[in-house]
Chain A
């Protein structure tokens, strides 16, 4: 028996060996082309990168080939960490915003990009999510997502409504829809705490707490959630609860999107990533940003940094990787990228034009507005209790159990005080 299996085993080993040798040969390329690897968590975009973006780059940069190497988003952080610790990380690494990236910077995963020309094409607010503690940039921003209020233009026409320009007008519009009684004024449920926070509070609140001023104030300890500005932000958030559909306490994110796409609700607070979804039933949809308290006040627009690329400090093809990072700052790349992926927006200073009209309308919200990030994701959620989770919880309590803005902010500040020591 042993003798009969031996030749088979030899054959198998030989085949395996040959196969591996073949791989190795294929991998090393033919000398004058350099291959760089992109590590990312966007598995869903693989086709887009491989068919459109990478060919465009390779065309203008002969001699460099790019391999797109996505890892599932839930495993991404662990995968990158173990790859880099093991010395095999990708040449270009997609950067998570804020806390995770800061720990990667501290571990020395990235090279500084201060010398990169592409960096100067981005405003400071776009770079903030991926900077080191000293303000050194480590990643080239690729895309952000925005929050806004989608509205059904047919319902607005039918009831003779105008897009509101102040908070008071906004409530008037909602009152008018409520009085008419045919439609739900606001397609919003409180079953999912995250979306109360991300799509409502972090959208309407910044007008009261002055966007980045308030957010960075919390981080450096000069401001507290119990300050009047923040209480006012929570109060504005609270004022929308009279316009929700019946049984909103158990209406989930999917339900509210559906309520809107079926044409049964006038307004939907949601993120730009839903652009394709809200227009999928053929509705004519427009979008507006959270209006400021009074006409002429500064308007604040939530822009959440989502993706960026950094340079692996231990990479072997740094020169080619740097060329790739420079290319990310060009209008050529940004134009291509955001139009292949409606709902994601370029963070560069140069305006980019969007083929999707709703995406263009969304992008226009950035005009004249101060941009601000989601309130609690940077630093304030790296302890127990994490501020972001706590905000989900108290936002639900405000809508479901009548917790007042004063009680809510006091409770949040107490939780934050129990562990957080201001960074600056």
Chain B
């Protein structure tokens, strides 16, 4: 039996490397960015302005309009992932574990996961060519009208990342013991009933987790929009999401001078949006999902 003091010292020793890296590269930059949002650093010196930058962000007609526009677009971006990517991911995971595919499971699993390993730049480029009105398969300018641009980009992203919820739910479904399924089949349950009454409740916690992860990923989203439409994503900012809005504020774009304070403020607001929702989810919902001992 090791003495408690030694145990704690060893514990600290093992945790320290990861903790140091995490604090240095995640916690510190985050806090310093939040700190930066309370200062006005124009003209070479910074002065403390309290919530001044936040007031500016929400009251300046231009920045507040762009911010709300980006937020609404981001919600749409998330909802499309939620309503398309997760159900299809669940369906494919269910098909993969249904036993109907026999030995080709591995092939399908690999093929469906491959897009997730591609660079977004490649995915954006491929899809842009496929739907190009000049040499692609549709004549309609999907990326060129305000109504269709964001759904189009969202679906490209769904196509790319379908493999993530699929693999996530697939492993959860694999973990369900065969005897539970077999018992229900003997009791006379059909495939539909077995899936919704037996299997799905067992993977509900994982389904909840992938939902909240999708939320976090889409609200931190940036790359696919930037790869396709740059930092002032048109037409008429219809594909602007919080990530690109932040980028434009912090780093500037061709016609916009970089404003570090405003950028830090936007980053802090995005952080708050994600934090509040994620925390609410874990406190309110995830605790109520039953986990069954099997």
Residues in A lying within 8 Å of B, measured CB to CB: 99, 107, 189-194, 245-252, 255, 259, 376-377, 381-382, 384-393, 396-397, 400-401, 415, 418
Contacts and interface: CB of A to CB of B under 8 A. Distances in A.
A415 B144 contact: no
Given A190-B144, A250-B144, A418-B62, 13 more contacts: A99-B257, A245-B134, A246-B139, A248-B144, A249-B144, A250-B133, A251-B132, A251-B144, A255-B132, A259-B134, A389-B232, A392-B234, A400-B145
B62 A415 contact: yes
Interface stretch (B29-37, B72-80, B248-256): B248-256
B139 A393 contact: no
Contacts of A99: 257
B200 interface: no
Contacts of A401: 146, 236
Contacts of A245: 133-134
Nearest to A380: B255
A161 B56 CA distance: 55
B236 A388 contact: no
Output the residue of B234, B237, B255 with the most chain A CB within 10 A.
B255
A245 B144 CA distance: 13
A367 B125 CA distance: 41
Contacts of A255: 132, 134
Contact of B141 (A247, A385, A418): A247
A248 B139 CA distance: 10
Contacts of B256: 381, 386, 388-389
Output the residue of A99, A245, A249, A385 with the most chain B CB within 10 A.
A249
B81 to A, nearest CB: 22
B128 interface: yes
A251 B142 CA distance: 10
A255 B129 CA distance: 9
A381 B255 contact: yes
Contacts of B141: 191, 247-251
Contact of A396 (B133, B140, B235): B235
Secondary structure class of chain B's binding surface, majority of residues: loop
Interface of B: 44, 60-63, 128, 131-134, 139-146, 229-230, 232, 234-237, 253-257
Contacts of A392: 232, 234, 255
Q: Which 10 pairs between the two chains have the least Cβ-Cβ distance?
A: A247-B133, A249-B144, A388-B255, A250-B144, A250-B141, A249-B141, A250-B143, A385-B62, A389-B255, A247-B141
25 contacts: A190-B235, A191-B143, A191-B144, A193-B232, A193-B234, A194-B230, A246-B133, A246-B134, A247-B133, A247-B134, A247-B144, A249-B143, A249-B235, A250-B131, A251-B141, A252-B128, A377-B255, A386-B257, A389-B256, A391-B255, A396-B234, A396-B236, A400-B236, A401-B236, A418-B62
Contacts of B63: 384
A400 B235 contact: yes
Nearest to B148: A250
Contacts of B61: 418
B235 A397 contact: yes
A257 to B, nearest CB: 12
B235 A386 contact: no
Contacts of B62: 384-385, 415, 418
Contacts of A388: 254-256
A91 to B, nearest CB: 23
A334 B59 CA distance: 50
B132 A393 contact: no
Nearest to A397: B236
Contacts, number: 101
Contact of B230 (A192, A259, A396): A192
Contacts of B44: 107
Nearest to A99: B257
B139 A247 contact: yes
Nearest to A255: B134
A344 to B, nearest CB: 19
Contact of B254 (A194, A259, A393, A418): A194
B211 to A, nearest CB: 32
Nearest to B132: A255
Nearest to B235: A396
Nearest to A414: B61
A424 to B, nearest CB: 20
Contacts of B229: 191
A358 B226 CA distance: 34
Contacts of A415: 62
Nearest to B248: A389
B106 to A, nearest CB: 38
A415 B65 CA distance: 12
A334 to B, nearest CB: 27
Contacts of A384: 60, 62-63
Given A245-B134, A386-B255, A400 B232 contact: no
Contacts of B230: 192, 194
Contacts of B132: 247, 250-251, 255
Contacts of A247: 132-134, 139-141, 144
Contacts of B237: 393
A247 B138 CA distance: 9
A190 B143 CA distance: 11
Contacts of A418: 61-62
B146 to A, nearest CB: 8
Contacts of A193: 232, 234-235
A12 B255 CA distance: 50
Contacts of A259: 134
Nearest to B63: A384
Contacts of A386: 255-257
B187 to A, nearest CB: 55
A282 B229 CA distance: 30
A251 B134 contact: yes
Nearest to A388: B255
A262 B198 CA distance: 59
A354 B264 CA distance: 48
A245 B132 CA distance: 12
A396 B61 CA distance: 21
Nearest to A415: B62
A247 B132 CA distance: 8
Nearest to A389: B255
Output the residue of A382, A389, A393, A418 with the most chain B CB within 10 A.
A389
A284 B210 CA distance: 56
B255 A191 contact: no
